[in-house]
Amino acid sequence: MPVARDVLAHAAQRPDRVAVRAIGHARTYAELAADIDDAAGRMWATGVRPGQVVAVDFAEPADMLAAILAADLIGAVPLVCDPAWSAGHRDDVLETIRPDHHVHVASGETSAYQPWPARPDDLAWAGFSSGSTGRPRAVVRTRGSWTGSYPAAQKLAGMTPDDRILVPGPLVSSLFCFAALHGLALGAEVIVTGRWRPGVVREFLAGVDIVHAVPHMLDQMLTALESSGDGSRPAPHRIRTALVSGAALLPGLRERAAALGIALVAYYGAVELSFVAADTDGTGLRPFDGVEIDLRRADGDDTVGEVWVRSPWIASRYLGGASGPFRRDDAGWASVGDLAAVGADTLRLRGRGDGAVITGGSTVVPEDVESVLVAVPGVRGVVVTGTPHGRLGAVVTAVIETGDPPVSRRLLEEAARSHLSAAQRPRRWLVVENLPRTAVGKPARAAISEGLRTGTLRTRPLGPGAHEDTYE
């Protein structure tokens, strides 16, 4: 940001232009500017000041955007939360991160506030790495690291101020939050749904120019366009470009988009690294503007290397002293542990070195899920991994070594709902008699994943008959 000042400028120049369209209502730039002013006054009245971290937490995405921009206007750091979190998970997050303020109601006293002179090096946005939970990791970045990439992102998508931009996912995701704020900075109309709602998204498709999505979302959008015509032709639409990230493209997705006249731009990045590489034509991922990439080979394996990045778009750090996969060296290079093939002309990703599960565009750290499940009565050991899924890439799978008495799936699911985000909750629950372990007694994570892949690990589904003797 300073996106707030961009929005105020657009409100002065084109006050009646729709800024944010949500389910059932729309706000013009003039109305959004008034909402930002009101939210800034309420924040100031509660003691929010420049440099402080403000957790913003609204169910209505237009209110969320107004609060984010209000924090930007007064120089605070908005920490974007997820309104879908359970009360228990929200308490865990806020207790761990300890923001200076938590704003979650659009009412209260207001007062005159002091706008902050925006500077590129100011900390100006914080959001969660996908899948943060009992050990939440919030990434904070400078204003320049975010807004400095806007021109390159605009060029990549071919965006104009007259476009209507569809943002069909939750704003807690940096992918969708960036898309919405970039659209508002440009002066475009931004359509927000708050979360993935296929039925609602279908209603908007005919009238949008640019869409942001993860692969499984675009798959469903294309299906809607392909199947809602007269049977011989696809449904009419005006979509020029689909920007897709968060997971590998599904087979045939680019070709299907092209058949509908839609240019598909796939890109790779991370909350901590921002944009890293993009593929505009199907020939492979190449460095994003301003980005250098170095593949550092791991000992004993010459085929893959760890991806290290140097660019102006890298985040600053985790809030609250949290640890995680984000590392930096003294020369300005950073990594989150992603692996890629060595010797290729383009960046060919090979997963995460730490075993993270990429599911539907979210990155889930197994240890975060395990720390919740291992506390459930009846769990003697647990390993979380990913198993293949046709649309999502992978699903989070919990392999449980149960105690005596055996663990209850009901208790496991209650713990997951209370303390894990939706992306983190296991979709497959399996039981083993004994988890394979290393010589020092730790679960042999790699062996368990390989055993599931090859079918050599004897498991049974955990369900109402969890204590049956048959294993698959």
Look-up of token digits 């009846």 = 378
Largest CA distance in the chain: 71
For the segment 190-215, what is each residue's pLDDT rounded down to a tens digit? 999 998 899 999 999 999 999 999 88
The CA-based angle 133-84-134, given to 5 degrees, is 10
DSSP state of 471: -
Q: Residue 14 corresponds to which amino acid?
A: R
Residues of the chain with CATH 3.40.50.12780: 3-195
Mean pLDDT confidence for 226-244: 84
Q: Domain 357-461 is in which class?
A: alpha beta
Domain with CATH 2.30.38.10 in the chain: 272-352
Residue 33 has pLDDT above 50, yes or no: yes
What pLDDT score does 464 carry? 57
pLDDT in tens, 239-262: 999 999 976 777 789 999 999 999
| Structure tokens that stand for 305 in this block | 């290397």
pLDDT interval class at 356 (50, 70, 90): confident
Tell which phi-psi region holds residue 337, choosing left (phi > 0), alpha (psi between -120 and 50) or beta: left
CATH value of 3-195 in 3.30.565.10, 3.40.190.10, 3.10.20.30, 3.40.50.12780: 3.40.50.12780
Mean pLDDT lowest for which of 41-55, 73-87, 227-241, 454-468?
Answer: 454-468
Q: Percent of the chain having pLDDT more than 90?
A: 59
- Residue 388 and residue 413: Cα distance in Å, rounded? 21
Cα–Cα distance for residue pair 203/177, rounded to 1 Å: 21
**Which two structure tokens, joined as six digits, stand for 396?**
């989070």
Is there a cis peptide before residue 312, judged by omega within 30 degrees of 0?
no
Asked if pLDDT for residue 409 goes beyond 50, the answer is yes
Give the whole-angstrom CA distance, residue 338 versus residue 328: 14
Residue 96 φ/ψ region, left for φ over 0, alpha for ψ in the -120 to 50 degree band, beta for the rest:
alpha
Segment 436-462 shows an average pLDDT of 79
* 235 neighbors 262 (Cβ within 8 angstroms): no
- Quick: pLDDT tens for 96-142: 889 999 999 878 889 999 999 988 999 999 998 753 334 568 999 99
Full-prediction pTM beyond 0.85? no
What pLDDT, on a 0 to 100 scale, did the predictor assign at position 168? 94
Q: Which residues contact 371 (CB under 8 A, 6 or more apart)?
A: 133, 134, 135
Q: Rounded distance, CA 271 to CA 139, Å?
A: 7
Q: Given pLDDT bands bounded at 50, 70 and 90, which one contains residue 323? A: confident
User: Do 200 and 191 touch, CB atoms closer than 8 A?
Assistant: no
Q: How far apart are CA 199 and CA 205, in angstroms?
A: 10
**Which pLDDT does position 365 carry in this prediction?**
75
Q: Of 177, 189, 152, nearest to 82 (Cα)?
A: 177
Angle subtended by helix axes 3-13 and 61-73, to nearest 10: 110
CA distances (Å), origin 196, targets 170, 191, 220 = 7, 12, 11
Q: Is the pLDDT of residue 237 over 50?
A: yes
* Res 230: pLDDT: 65
> At the topology level of CATH, where does 272-352 sit?
Luciferase; domain 3 (2.30.38)
| CATH 3.30.300.30 residue window(s) in the chain | 357-461
